[in-house]
Structures are given as C-alpha cells and as structure tokens.
C-alpha cells in the first residue's frame, strides 16, 4: 500500500527521511497497524517537491522520495516482507527519477511553471500508484517468492537505468 502527498509544494513533512540516506528497517515503522484489511505492512512513501529561488533568480526544484515513519506500519515482521516493502520505497524513487527526467526535458513558462510541474507530479503519481498495485498483485504482497525475486531484479535494473537522475535538485529552464 502507498501514501501519496497531495501537496506537492511544501516543506519536508516531519518524521520522514529521504531515499538513499538509509535503507528502511522495521524500526522505521512507527504507525499503528490497521486491524481491518489483509495487509501485513504499509510503506508510506511519497514524491515530495519544493522550489527555491536563489539569488540568480533561476528557480531550483527539488524532487525527492520520502519515507514517512509515522504513517508506515507493520503487523508481521519478516525479512521477506521487509524486502518487499523496500521495493515499494524504491519504486517511489524510480518514479521520482522519471519525473525528474520529464522536468529536465522541458522548458516551462515563467508564469505558470509551478502549475505545469504540479500537473506532471499528479500524472507520475497516478502512474506510480498503478505500478505499486501491480507489484503487490504479482508478488501477492511478497508471498510469491518467485515473482518477488523477478520484481527485485526489475527494480534493481530500473534504478540502474535511471542512476543519472539520482540528484533530487534540478535547475529549471523558463521561457517568458
């Protein structure tokens, strides 16, 4: 299961850490488990965006993947489930990198760029949600170990293909 930020332009939410700073561990899951539903764990990860206007007035956007500790929870702590949940966090980073690639490939109107990027954010989050759902369905929430291994390899390959987009800070190209 996945948590998405509805406010793309904001300060980094409290009780979060960025992808790549550390791998997740069960100690990061601080939320209260839901008693209804069949999930053994929820990884609350999101693509967070912020914009800065440095002295040269060329906006810089930060697109980062965050893990929200207080919204993430676990019922059944197994090694295979933790690997599965790391996959969710990594998939979020894959889509953050795809969003960075899209932002870098475009030029934006100086008056409307924030809205344009917000719309891109929504588009990529919708694609990511569908991909996360497919990941859960095909791996049966980590229970299908053969499919989990295939997905682990696919995630690793995607991360490798997009490694040049790992830096969350981007300079925008703006048109008047």
Domain membership flag for residue 7: no
Q: Using 50, 70 and 90 to split pLDDT, how confident is the model at 3?
A: very low
Asked whether residue 114 is domain-assigned, the answer is yes
In-domain check, residue 54:
yes
Determine, yes or no, domain membership for 72: yes
Structural domain range at position 20? 16-163
- Look up the pTM and report it: 0.91
The stretch 19-31 carries a mean pLDDT of: 92
Look over the chain and give the mean of its residue pLDDT values, rounded to a whole number: 90
Q: Are 114 and 51 in contact (CB under 8 A)?
A: yes
Residue 169 within any structural domain of the chain: no
Find, among 113, 88, 129, the residue nearest to 170 by Cα. Answer: 113
Tell whether 80 is covered by a domain.
yes
Would 5 be classed as within a structural domain? no
pLDDT above 60: residue 10: no
The answer to whether residue 2 is domain-embedded is no
Number of domains into which the chain is organized: 1
d(CA 136, CA 85): 10
Contact 63, 125 (CB under 8 A): no
Confidence of residue 21 (pLDDT cuts 50, 70, 90): confident
pLDDT at 2 over 50: no
């Amino acid at each position: 299961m996945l948590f998405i930020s509805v406010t793309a332009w904001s300060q980094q939410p409290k009780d979060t850490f960025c992808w790549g700073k550390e791998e997740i561990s069960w100690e990061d899951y601080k939320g209260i488990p839901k008693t209804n539903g069949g999930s053994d764990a929820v990884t609350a990860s999101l693509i967070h965006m912020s914009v800065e206007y440095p002295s040269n007035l060329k906006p810089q956007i930060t697109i980062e993947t965050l893990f929200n500790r207080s919204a993430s929870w676990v019922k059944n702590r197994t090694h295979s489930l933790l690997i599965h949940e790391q996959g969710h966090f990594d998939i979020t980073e894959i889509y953050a990198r795809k969003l960075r690639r899209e932002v870098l490939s475009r030029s934006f109107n100086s008056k409307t760029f924030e809205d344009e990027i917000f719309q891109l954010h929504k588009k990529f989050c919708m694609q990511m949600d569908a991909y996360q759902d497919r990941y859960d369905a095909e791996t049966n929430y980590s229970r299908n170990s053969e499919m989990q291994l295939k997905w682990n390899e696919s995630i690793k390959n995607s991360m490798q293909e997009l490694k040049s987009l790992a830096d969350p800070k981007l300079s925008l190209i703006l048109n008047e």
